[in-house]
Amino acid sequence: GAVVSQHPSWVICKSGTSVKIECRSLDFQATTMFWYRQFPKQSLMLMATSNEGSKATYEQGVEKDKFLINHASLTLSTLTVTSAHPEDSSFYICSAKALAGAYNEQFFGPGTRLTVL
Amino acid sequence: GQSLEQPSEVTAVEGAIVQINCTYQTSGFYGLSWYQQHDGGAPTFLSYNALDGLEETGRFSSFLSRSDSYGYLLLQELQMKDSASYFCALNQAGTALIFGKGTTLSVSS
């Protein structure tokens, strides 16, 4: 089946630093990847839609200058949390939509847990 | 906009049957998906309905009524390992899944 990986699986950083999270589709090509954020005991909230070769589309309330998204190839999207602060601590999950997928099926990565001290 | 409503918590005992309901509002509809998420893990796909009716996958079944903007997930022969959060999610053409707030299922022995 379709596999999506994320790296790192967890990261702890100091306030003010930047953190890059990678999302890869391992056995399929994805023109579109999505980034979600999930706080404890809450739902997955869509942050942005990442399209290969073009600028990401951000959801209302998500700062594009703080959460930089790059989708340089059909198998890789990166999310960089710039100048991270404790309130950015969360579980970040990506999903990928297959180039030739059925019914808009999306495949989720295992998530990255970010803790900002 | 889009919105989904589902109960926040459900409790049941092993071997029982549980139904988690989901009502939704959306302007464009392709289908309704169900995902399971254990603590600390990523969501895993359970079931999908694009047309009215029941879809059965082992112990899990999902139902959709587009005219009522309503669906449910049915879990049979509950096991302790089924304790998790369950999310209904709207599928829309070319866009991300929109998730409900999730239902926490607690299965006791």
Tens of pLDDT, residue by residue over B69-80, are 999 999 999 999
Q: Give the number of beta-carbon pairs within 8 Å between A and B.
A: 50
Geometric angle at alpha carbon A19, from A83 and A49, rounded to 5°? 95
Closest of A60, A45, A59, A81 to residue B89, by C-alpha: A45
Are B43 and A93 in contact (CB < 8 Å)?
Answer: yes
Tens of pLDDT, residue by residue over A84-105, are 999 999 999 999 987 665 555 7
Separation of CA A109 from chain center: 9
Instruction: Spell out a b/e string for A53-78, using b for 16 or more CB atoms within 10 Å of the CB, else e.
Output: eeebbbeeebeeeebbbebeebbbbb
Residue A72 CA to residue A78 CA, distance in Å, equals 8
Of A32, A42, A104, the CB nearest to B30: A104
Tens of pLDDT, residue by residue over B3-45, are 999 999 999 999 999 999 999 998 888 899 999 999 989 999 8
pLDDT score recorded for residue B30: 83
Residue A102 CA to residue A28 CA, distance in Å, equals 13
Cβ-Cβ contacts under 8 Å, B105 against chain A: none
Tens of pLDDT, residue by residue over A54-63, are 889 999 999 9
Chain B residues with CB under 8 Å of a chain A CB are 30-31, 40-45, 48, 50, 87, 91-102
Residue B28 CA to residue A28 CA, distance in Å, equals 27
